[in-house]
Structure 1
Amino acid sequence: MRSPFPAVKKPAASFNWRLLGADLAVGLVFFTYNFRGFLAYVANHWAPQWLANPTLSVLRFTENTLAFTGAGTAWSPLLAEWLVVGLWWYLAILFVTSLVFMKPGRLANGLSGLCVGLGSVVLLSWMGVVLVKIASTVGVILAFVFSIVGAVFHFISTLVAVIFPYLAGIGLAIGVVYALVHLVRALGLTLVKYALAAVAATAVVWLTVPLLRWCYASLLLPILHFLAPIVAWILAAVGVVLMVVLAFVAVLGVAGALVFVLGMLGRLAIDQFRTAWEGGRGERPMALAGFSVGSAFALLLTVTAGLPDVAAGIDVAWHEHAWMLNTWSPAASHFQALPDAVAGAFAAMFQHASAPVFDAVVLAALLTTAAVGAMWRREAEEDAWQARYISVEALKVGAALGFGLLVLVIAANLPDDS
């Protein structure tokens, strides 16, 4: 069955404008639905009228499309129920397809990818905390070393500042004497001729200074007065041209940054859905599909850090609709696993955010895509690059990160003096 998502092709001689257009379109959709409040504020306060009205119309369209899902723009318990039930149906499909196709590795890889995806935000947060601690420790060590080097340099510079004038005077006197002796030996009377010529040239210049002053005042200065307005006009024109060029470059820079951000968001979204769809290609693609689903669920839990009602609704839906482990609270466990500083930052960051309705709808669509993709057995031979760097190296990195998570959590919880 052919994948409906645009695939990343190998670099060709010509630029792939269709791929860029797909990335920008999907990225624009994700940006518009996720940052409705920010776009509405910009349209009402900063944007001109000709741009504000279309932007507000697009925002109203996004609200209407979200209302069409039955959840509206406010969080609904129905969304949480969809997600929990969809996740368990996805796991059931993984279990059934692994039995039907007699491929137990599909289930194992899918579950491992799902677990790694669920812990990805927590793992990255702990890695960031440990890196900050390491950086602060290295900073203290470097500050101590620099203080020692600074003290030594200050001592040496003070000593040199006291002794240098005397040494410089003695060296200069020795150099002058040596140069005079050497010139006299080398040139003899010729040196006297050069000295007399220098004195004569100085006298001639001194006598011609009044003539030079008259030439400057009578000839050169009127020419400069005549050229001054022309030069000023040319400089003003050059300044205007430079301002236009700088404004054009700034517009291009902003447009390039916007295209980069939207294209990156679109490519990530397309790759996430494409990875979920291609889970049925084998055991390792199933692990990547599980990681896509798990990471999307982890990001949804992270967004609800500042929305306790939404987080509680997800936990309640899990307690009521989970097929097993129904005493576990995913949102609460996610926040408790985060470092205190990171959890506090997320809570402050998303305290005034709108309910992640669009993220929940996208996760539901991603679960549907992954479930349908898992039911199709379309295994294909992996090329050398995929087998080497995705299949082998990715598993090694995943295992190392899983072991490193335990080490990082232990290290981050040690006392500061340890």
Structure 2
Amino acid sequence: MNAPEERAVPQPSPADDSYVENLDALTRDLDDIEALAAAALDGQSLDQGVADRISHAPTRLTYDELTQHNQQRREAEAWGDAELADILDPTALRQLDEWRTAQRIRWERGDLVVVGVAGLLGALANLYDTQLDSKVLEGLAWLKKTDLITRWEQDAEGMPIDYMGSKFGGPGHRGLSAGHDIGRFFNALNQVRTGTFEGTYWEYGERFARVSTTTPFGTPYSEVEWPLALAQLLKHWVADFVTPMSLPLPGWTLLRDMPARELRAFGQEAYAGVHGGSSLNLRSGLLTPGLGMVATEVIIRTHTHLAAYRQTGSPRLPTATSAKRTEMLLAGHTAAGAVSLSKTAAAAVAGETVVAVRHLNVPVLMRIGMLALKVRSDAVTRTASGVSSWSQLLEDEAATWTLPEAIAIAELLEEPGTTSPMTQFSPETDLE
């Protein structure tokens, strides 16, 4: 069978309910036709008024003309409002939901504007990341001076994770062991509980372990119970987080255990930085870049949920709309990610070398990767949804005209001297 010729068909807008009204009119006509067929098969007299109306129904109408004709009938016969749920049976409603779910919603002009604004805001946050991080650091410095943080800092003094003996001292000592790495929480907590420092270092390509229960000056560390150890560790981390050096990125101290010297040097140089506050740490690597990312998320999510609320009265997003939101988020974050990569490369060429990695927006790049996978997954789901194609729907609908009841109806409605519709149309010939 040759594929039917594809033609662009104008689609009604979401706010246009004419297609529902037209379906309602068609359903009423089909009900009348079924009543005529049942009467004819039972040998009863036909409703001649209904038969005449159906046989003399206007044909070859455009969509707008058909809509106007059905609206006139609706007003004249006082049908009331048309509801899609009253027209379709449960199976058809389920198929309609599957069809809607499988469709990709095109972006509107407002979507493009919102993505542009959100992407620009995220890009500016990355372009001026140093200035933004300085403002964040000023705010954290003010927080550090508060009575609460000062007390926490005093309560958490003298802990084994602050061991600064040989191989573990210097301004970047927090990046040399697991004690300040929130990604190695249980290791750090165990050190505090047992009063034992644990760390590793390398000499001439050989790895050594350092375990110490005392400070470099011989003062023993104290063992504490689990609840107190947890409280002390969290207080210590908060007090250190608001300092210029902050804390290492989660899992960053694992580079210290790598056999490749280049990786170990990279990890320490990137965290230590040129001066305090210029390093890649938990504040500059996650908190500050995350501000721009959160702003992009808030703008796009607010737009999509408000649009859904205006259309349906509920902020809940259908599956297809949620997929469009994912596409918008991916586009918005991609602009910020591109600026982040460009600035990192430019800073490295300009002389920052390893420290240039602090311009890398890790949260945005991770978010881009997850969104890209989700967009791909949505596309695969749409392709594999199993929704019938237009050609299949045409074949299924045309097949109903071969039923004996359809032939009987056509013969009943045939006027003398005219050709039966069934002799004008044959699925076996017209669809080939």
| Higher RCO (C-alpha under 8 Å, 6+ residues apart) | 1
TM range (shorter): under 0.3
User: What TM-score, normalized by structure 1, do the two folds share?
Assistant: 0.20
The structure with the greater share of residues assigned to helix is 1
User: What TM-score, normalized by structure 2, do the two folds share?
Assistant: 0.20
